[in-house]
Amino acid sequence: MIDERMKIIEKNPDTYYMLKSEDQIVGYFAIIPFKKGKMDNVLKQTLPFKIEIDDIEDFKEGNNVDLWLHVIGVKLGFTASEKHIYGAKLIGGIIELILGLGEKGITIGTMAARSNTSDGIRLMRRAGFTEVPPATPERRTFIINVNESGIPYVMQYKEKLSAWKERDNLSTSNNGTKASKHA
């Protein structure tokens, strides 16, 4: 399992994140960008699932991806209040990552997650995910269709993506104009 995760990180180093308090790791999340059309294969797998490294996309400017919230967790042993604080910080980190993708011109089609824990299910609902019929019997499946979503952070993402596209089009137009002047 560690070897598989290291291969994922080699393919895209921006997939696994840690939350630290002082020098202690208190939580983590992983969000994996898949090439268009590959998300259904991931969601249909029963446990243990296998991620095909070639299905993972890079977070490169202009790429189209589907995001899978692979895992999110807070270390055991904290009070309910501490868990909520750390969980909120993790969600804030995920939202910050998503907004950053918009700024880089990365188009997100869907975001998906699966869970079978009450905390995970509650988290997906609070984050605005829609529960869809489960793709496997052991976990519930949650999706956000970014194009159709009106969730505030998704709307912010779409604004940032739109601004990037305007800048990119302007840059492309200016480069084209410069090139034609030199011709």
* C-alpha gyration radius of the chain: 18
Number of H helices, E strands in the chain: 5, 6
What count of residues does the chain have?
Answer: 183
What share of the chain in percent tops pLDDT 90? Answer: 52
pLDDT, position 97: 95
Average pLDDT, the chain: 87
CA trace torsion 17, 23, 24, 30 (10° rounding): 0
Note the pLDDT tens digit of each residue in 130-141.
999 988 888 899
Residue 122 has pLDDT above 50, yes or no: yes
Q: How far apart are CA 72 and CA 95, in angstroms?
A: 13
Task: Examine the pLDDT at 182 and tell me if it is beyond 90.
Answer: no
The pLDDT tens digits for 35-75 are: 998 888 888 877 767 888 899 999 999 999 999 998 888 99
In this prediction, residues 23-29 reach a mean pLDDT of: 92
Confidence band of 94 (pLDDT split at 50, 70, 90): very high
Angle, helices 80-103/152-182, rounded to nearest 10 degrees: 20
Domains of the chain with CATH codes: 2-182 (3.40.630.30)
- From 162, 160, 133, 128, select the one nearest 145 (Cα to Cα): 128
**Average pLDDT over every residue of 66-94:** 91
H runs (alpha helix) in the chain: 2-11, 39-43, 80-103, 118-126, 152-182
